[in-house]
Amino acid sequence: MAGFDGLQVAAFESRRAADMRQLIERQGGVAHVSPSMREVPLETNRAVIDFANRLITAQIDIVVLLTGVGTRHLVQAIERHVDRERFISALADTITIARGPKPVAAMKELGIAPTHRVPEPNTWRELLQTIDAEVPVAGQTVAVQEYGVPNPSLIAGLEARGATVEPVKVYDWELPEDTGPLEATARALAEGKIDVALFTSANQVTNLLRLADELDLVDAVRAGLSKSVVASIGPVTSARLREEELPVDLEPEHPKMGQLVVAAAERAGELRERKQRLTVEMLSSAPATRSQAPWHDSLFLRACRREVVERTPIWLMRQAGRYMREYREVREKTTFLELCKNPELCAEVAITARDRLDVDAAIIFSDLLPILEPMGFELEYAQGEGPIIHNPIRANEDVDRMVELSNVDALHYVMETCRLTREQLDPQIPLLGFAGAPFTLASYAIEGGGSRSFVFTKTLMYRDEGAWAALMERLVRGIARYLNAQVAAGVQAVQIFDSWVGCLSPADYRRYVMPYTRRLIESVARGVPVIHFATGNPALVPLLAEAGGDVVGVDWRMRLDDAWQAIGPDRGIMGNLDPLMLLADPADIRRAAGDILAQADNRPGHIFNLGHGVIPQTPVDSAIALVHAVRELSAR
């Protein structure tokens, strides 16, 4: 068999159901094609007739046609009340924008052609880009033939450009008259009997879930879709799936039904196997809080719980890095992003660093930013420039294109890194996972890379608090799923890095950041220690504790005893040697470590670390000397 190789493939096409069945079967799939919707013209549509008269009398400046079937229904709805030829002539004399090939074909049937045609993938975003490039709409009246349901993003985009928008609704989407086939597919999804689900329109998603709700199967259908391979014909459909917190495993290069089926057939086996493997791995991983696990009574985890320990545990942020020869040898063979996506190499460099330094915890090797890729950002690590995001958020409407991270399938390599590192690591040594905090990830997404002033971030934050809230809430949900997946895949604690939040005042932190960071920390699996780390502004330290975390990580800009007093007695503390101290003589390193330990004064809950990551110029022997000094000086 070709392609699907006997997989059970569900599709929800209505008008072209027979074609869809044939395409699936030709690719070797067992087809479950169940029509999910029908277009129902509005019986009494005075608004459409009024629109036609206004068009004929030149009161409409621009007409946007979103669908082929809608264009046809529009003409049918008016021709009994308005002269058809006058209407078509008026339409031909008006600026028209066709969203894609289907309205173009419908206009051709009328003997006219659109003034402008929106390029692939034919979403509302490309429509607005076409308008920006070719059609000034400020002060114009724009009629929009609706898609069965309103598109608030398109309407808002037109209004933001100064247009007066008149929606023209010509039909509703309803369930098919015979819902039997769709019910059967919904039940098959709920029972886990569907391997692949193909969606060719956003309304198919809506109607499938609507029927599932009527059958009291909506949760089971959602679970079935999460386990199957979900293929979407294009961005509009993908956006609806993600709004419903459902996975999107693939899109074809071009938004066409045949290409969707071929792309799904080529990749379904691989994607299905990967999803199944991830599920098994995460279910079989040892629970992070299991008291009989060999790492449970490690110095590190006991310190996280603020228990009395025999000596102060130590690990180093960025302990696997360019300062270490073994890491440089690995990096010579691959790019940084390719390394992050290679679980075997990630496990190797993390464990090598842990063993070489003999520290009390390992941390998975990854980076803060790969989580942004499945959220719709184009990420590159440029040689000598650090990370670059080529499509940053620069305006409130850009937030709408940020994809909801509804599952972690696209980050499977990080979960595999967690699993392999835990499997190969000394069982007595706990493993940390990590993620960027919402503010730091938002800043990267907005600035497009590093920044000194954070001008774009603060502009959005100050000028549009609604857009800022939408961005931060989406990040909180995605990061929470990401961290909890790491826990399920094998880590024992997590660290949240807010590396850039030091650019804010305490008042701004409290208003724009704290609610979201607190929600993220509260979302981490119960019983898993959370280290909440930030750098750059000592005035934020008490607010970090207020936001949450079992341990607060502090940098070197504040004495450790002053920081602990600001944090309060109910949390541990991590830190806080200046990373550049590792460039000093061993005697000075030992003296500086002893000073920090004296400030900790043997209080339970201290984890020794640098105030930030190891820098590339650090001699490995200096890092080892620090570890030995902390071990010797802190022994009870």
Query: Mind listing the pLDDT tens digit for each residue in 225-263?
Result: 988 999 999 877 887 887 787 888 888 988 889 999 999
Active site residue 474: no
Active site residue 322: yes
As a whole number, mean pLDDT of residues 499-524 equals: 96
Q: What is the DSSP letter of 573?
A: E
> In this predicted structure, which of 39-48, 124-133, 377-386 has the lowest mean pLDDT?
39-48
> In this predicted structure, which of 118-127, 421-430, 496-505 has the lowest mean pLDDT?
118-127
Closest listed residue to residue 512, CA positions, set 459, 555, 551: 459
Q: What is the DSSP letter of 457?
A: H
Q: What is the DSSP letter of 313?
A: -
pLDDT digits (tens, 9 = 90+) for 183-224: 999 999 999 999 999 999 888 999 999 999 999 999 999 999
Active site residue 318: yes
Q: What pLDDT sits at residue 63?
A: 97
Rounded alpha-carbon distances, angstroms, from residue 69 to 40, 64, 105, 172, 434: 11, 14, 10, 11, 49
pLDDT digits (tens, 9 = 90+) for 454-474: 999 999 999 999 999 999 999
Catalytic residue, chosen from 19, 172, 297, 367, is: 367
Active site residue 331: yes
Q: What is the DSSP letter of 286?
A: P
23 versus 278: the higher-pLDDT residue is 23
Residues in the chain: 636
Catalytic residue, chosen from 272, 331, 557, 571, is: 331
Extents of the domains making up the chain: 8-37+178-283, 40-174, 299-634
Q: Report the DSSP beta bridge partners of residue 551.
A: 531, 572
Catalytic residue, chosen from 147, 444, 509, 516, is: 444
| Sheet with strand 30-33: strands edge to edge | 30-33, 8-11, 196-199, 229-232
CATH of domain 8-37+178-283: 3.40.50.10090
Would you say 605 and 571 are in contact if contact means Cβ atoms under 8 Å apart? yes
CATH of domain 40-174: 3.40.50.10090
Q: How far is CA 615 from the centre of its chain?
A: 29
**pLDDT band per the 50, 70, 90 thresholds, residue 282:** low
CA distance 69 to 89: 20
Same fold, 40-174 and 299-634: no
Active site residue 367: yes
Q: What pLDDT sits at residue 148?
A: 65
Q: What pLDDT sits at residue 385?
A: 66
Catalytic residue, chosen from 16, 54, 222, 322, is: 322
pLDDT of 400 strictly over 90: no
* 3-class state of residue 610 by DSSP: strand
Neighbours of 227 (CB within 10 A): 17
**Architecture of the domain delimited by 299-634:** Alpha-Beta Barrel (3.20)
